[in-house]
Amino acid sequence: MKLQTQRWIDRWVGQALCAVVSLWERWTQWIGISGPVSMPDHPRHILVILLSEMGSVVLAGPMFAALHQRYPEATLHVLQLYKNREVAQLLGLARPEHLHTLDDSTALRLLQDIWRVCKKLRALPLDAVIDCELFSRISSLLSYLSGARLRTGFTPHTQEGLYRGSFINRAIPYNPYRHIACQFLALADALDDASLPRHKAAPIRAIPTDCSLSVVFLPDELSAYRRQMQADHPALAGRQVVLLYAGGGLLPERAWPAAHFAILARGLCQAGYAVGLIGLRDDAELAQHLCGLVAHEHCVDLTGYTRSIRELLMLFYAARLLVTNDGGPGHFASLTPIRTILFFGPETSRLYGPLTPNAHVFESGVACSPCLSAYNHRLTFCDGDNQCLIRIDPMTVLAQALVALT
């Protein structure tokens, strides 16, 4: 389904269903069928719902580490979109048989998968569910349909237009001033904390400096990949490699201008480095355009070269620096030693910055930035003239890149 279609269904159909479920939950409480619930001393099954972008999985790493430490005997289950399953498998968030997926390519497939997955989860049964989505109605409904009696998730409190029911019985306020990794940790803390007002007794946590996730590679595996990369692209051989991700993904307003990337790539090539332009096959046209602007033999199109997230991580091991727009590559880079430069504008690194000391963030700080938030469902009022990124000077970025490469 198209993103706009999903948003429309979630807004109108989702709100109506959330209201119905909320009324049902209140009625069951009134007649005494359901009531206050607490976390068991030895929970058996805990579900984590993560339907958003792949980069969010990396930011949720500290939360998964906290859950494993706090409930070592519990089985963790993860519910995510089918297109994001590779990341959870690679990072070992749960055993393969405990990774549950939803195919959102069509409405019919989504409904079929919801029925299948909820039937499987209710048979466990679940002790608790953590809904990591900000204000998605479908994730809220899934938390209820999963059958878990203890449900933790974000509440908008008094924010208008973000209603998604009142059946999350361990709700904590979404805080737009705290890094999302800390807020994910707060969701885990809420399982054992029924304090009121909402979550005042939660522990004080600093922003994690490590994502608490890793992918193991053998030295021979990395060496073989580097040799193969240089054999496939001889222009990269004999030079240190800098990777550039110029695509904006589903949100093109997050992209630093292509002309700025061209200036940066040309300066790096002239300084003696090789430049690889990475991305999906859909980014190939942009990469070819940039190669034409740079016009240097050591600027190479690598879009579509990596066939999996694992290969992307091996590519990061083979390079010295990644320069990227806000998105998945910047977060996946935190799983490797590569240094990273990221551009933020429509969103802010204060909430979504990568969990690694090897990252340097550029933000211009114009008056309208950031414009994407949980409160507007990431629907920007930007007219395509994203001054928040345009004003980040490419020569300043080049100077920072050269410092990172020394």
Give pLDDT, residue 194: 66
Phi, psi of 137 (to 5 degrees): -75, -35
Q: Comparing C-alpha atoms, which of 260, 265, 258 is closest to residue 283? A: 258
Tokens standing for residue 128: 């608790």
Domain locations in the chain? 3-190, 219-405
The CATH number that domain 219-405 falls under is 3.40.50.2000
How far is it, in rounded angstroms, from Cα 107 to Cα 274?
A: 45
pLDDT of 6 reads 80
* Number of separate helices (H) and strands (E) present in the chain: 15, 12
Its sign, for the CA torsion 330, 331, 333, 337, is: positive
Same fold? 3-190, 219-405: yes
Looking at residue 249, its pLDDT comes to 80
Is the pTM for the entire model greater than 0.95?
A: no
Residue 80: name the closest of 45, 117, 112, 107 by CA: 117
Tally Cβ neighbours within 10 Å of residue 13.
13
Residues 6+ apart with CB under 8 A from 100: 77, 78, 79, 80, 117, 120, 121
Helix (H) or strand (E) holding 362: strand 359-362
Phi, psi of 241 (to 5 degrees): -105, 135
Element (H, E) at 232: helix 219-232
Is 3-190 a CATH 3.40.50.2000 domain? yes
For residues 290 and 261, the answer to whether their CB atoms sit within 8 Å is yes
Q: What is the pLDDT of residue 303?
A: 96
pLDDT by 10s per residue, the chain, length 406: 777 788 788 888 999 999 999 999 999 988 888 777 889 989 999 999 999 888 899 999 999 999 999 999 999 999 999 988 999 999 999 999 999 999 998 989 999 999 999 999 999 999 999 999 988 899 999 999 999 999 999 987 777 667 888 999 898 888 889 999 999 999 999 998 766 556 677 788 899 999 999 999 999 999 999 999 999 999 999 999 999 999 988 788 999 999 999 999 999 999 999 999 999 889 999 999 999 999 999 999 999 999 999 999 999 999 999 999 999 999 999 999 999 999 999 999 999 999 999 999 999 989 999 998 888 777 788 888 999 999 999 999 999 999 999 9
Helix orientation angle between 3-30 and 137-145, rounded to the nearest 10 degrees: 40
User: HEC string of 70-135?
Assistant: HCCCCEEEEEEEHHHHHHHHHHCCCCHHHEEEECCCCHHHHHHHHHHHHHHHHCCCCCEEEECCCC
The rounded distance, in Å, linking the Cα atoms of 106 and 198 is: 37
**Geometric angle at alpha carbon 184, from 203 and 196, rounded to 5°:** 50
